Structure 1
Amino acid sequence: MTLPTPAKAEPFDLLAAWLADARKTELNDPNAMTLATVGPDGEPDARIVLLKGQDDRGLVFYTNYQSRKGEDLAADPRAALVFHWKTLQRQVRVRGTVEKVTPEEADAYFAGRPRLSKIGAWASDQSRPLANRSVLETRLAEAEARFPTDDVARPPHWSGYRVLPDRFEFWRDMPYRLHDRLIYTRATPQDDWMTERLFP
């Protein structure tokens, strides 16, 4: 079965449907996506993050703004994402600009995290050199003493980003490597999506 070209192109709806399928088949983190950025030094980098929100504005993930990815996005607010679900034989590639989520959005998400994850956001200088594990454990204990209940404030350096897509590619595995590829593009968020197919 090939990918249909809908009468009204809505890639966010198709992504939501594929994510729903992935939740039924993927054992771990069906919302995992590769995030690619370019740093201040001009070098590319990539890592796995988790999709934590999706609507018709964009795709949201959370992190430490002082991390390597945070520094990259401060220098160049563009990113690429890749979802790959091996069991479904599907892949989605996304490209777009990036903006910070509002403090209210970040507070609401942070409040729902497990307590130790909240504590860890205070204890970890993400992406910075760590002399040994005991340093992190000491800082974790200090943060636990500072916040003895589940009411842990969100650190000012911890928040989220929203990727505002201008391009999606939906890929499905097909026999004999004659894969199905459907592209959605738009110049601005106000524009309608345009679709086209690509050769495998």
Structure 2
Amino acid sequence: MGVALVALFVALGGTGYAAGGAFSGDGDGLRAETAARRGARRVQRGPRGFTGARGPAGPRGTAGPAGSTGAAGERGAPGATGATGPQGPAGTAKAFASISSGGRVRAGHAFAITDANVSIRSRGYYCFDLSGVGITSANAVPIAAVDYSDDNTSSGDVLAVISSGDFNNCTAGQIGVRTYDDAGGFDPAGFTIAFM
């Protein structure tokens, strides 16, 4: 009887130890269960496949609003001078000149008119004799304007061109120019004149 009891206790003690070892704090049982679950998940997912080819590009979206204008850049260096253009057609004026208040033709500013063609009738009264170049009061239209670059010409000075009529006191066939100050009195002034 005693021997049988001892054998029973030894058998029960070994079973309890084995059971205690499976669920004790040593973690061997938990690690085995976790590894089994991971393996099951791998089997369910299967191995990763190859990456597929890139699909076609989608349609282009609408353009966004234009941005604000940026600051102006630095000015570039000037370019080379271009070729000289062809000469323009000849003008239609028969004669022209820039006349000083003293009745002299300004050099370089005249065509078919010289000092010999201009005389002073009286204060602020100039007469043009261009019969030598075929210009008379009967076949030319004079156009004149005050030249304020003349030293004796003041702001407010005006002029009148007289080609014919009772107000033309120049010799017959000549063309007269009268210059006035701002008060209406005769006053010498520079001017330019052209005969068309």
TM normalised by structure 2 equals 0.23
Name the structure where helix makes up a greater proportion of residues.
1
Of the two structures, which has the highest relative contact order with CA contacts closer than 8 Å and spacing of 6 or more? 1
Structure label with greater radius of gyration: 2
Q: Which has the higher strand share?
A: 1
